[in-house]
Amino acid sequence: MCCKQQSKQPFSVDPRTNKKSRGFSLVEVMVVVVIIGMLAGAVTIAVGGHLETAKTNRAKSDIATIVDAVEAFRLTKGRYPTSEEGLEPLPLKNGLDPWGRPYGYNTNGAQGEPFEVYTLGADGRDGGEDADADIYSWQLGDTEEVSE
């Protein structure tokens, strides 16, 4: 009895086309993985700068909303919250800035404002530039004092 001996080959035969097909080699797979990694890194770098800008813009929007809530408090109660009360008596969903720290509130704000709402920026310290810059309600220019 004679048997045809099968040799071990690094490819398989597709029964539909009767053609030999090979899989991807490890080197080919590694090249693709490296290229995908490089593209992901480039996207991360490009998006990273926009993330800080988005956080700064969100902080400005939040401060404007808080200013409106403080003004509504004054219309309802006839006074502004004290510095000791801070933002506690206001019905805020979230009193944290985009960096996870509470917004600040002072009566007798700068530039003659009756109050100020602020965040200390990404670094959480006074001063700073760019994303680390402090943001105060009086800097927004949209807040106008309601005449009594």
Domain of 52?
25-140
Q: Which of 58, 55, 85 is nearest to 73 (CA)?
A: 85
The sheet carrying 115-119 orders its strands as 104-107, 115-119, 135-136
This prediction has a pTM of 0.67
Chain segment 83-134, per-residue pLDDT in tens: 999 999 999 988 899 999 999 999 988 888 999 999 999 999 998 888 889 9
Number of domains in the chain: 1
Residue 84 included in any domain? yes
Residue 72 included in any domain? yes
Residue 7 included in any domain? no
Task: State the CATH number of the domain containing residue 88.
Answer: 3.30.700.10
pLDDT at 48 over 60: yes
Residue 52: pLDDT band by 50, 70, 90 thresholds?
confident
Dig out the tokens for 55 from the structure. Answer: 């956080």
Residue 2 included in any domain? no
**DSSP calls for 47-100:** HHHHHHHHHHHHHHHHHHHHHHHHHHHHHHHSSPPPTTTTTTTS--S--B-TTS
Q: What is the pLDDT of residue 45?
A: 84
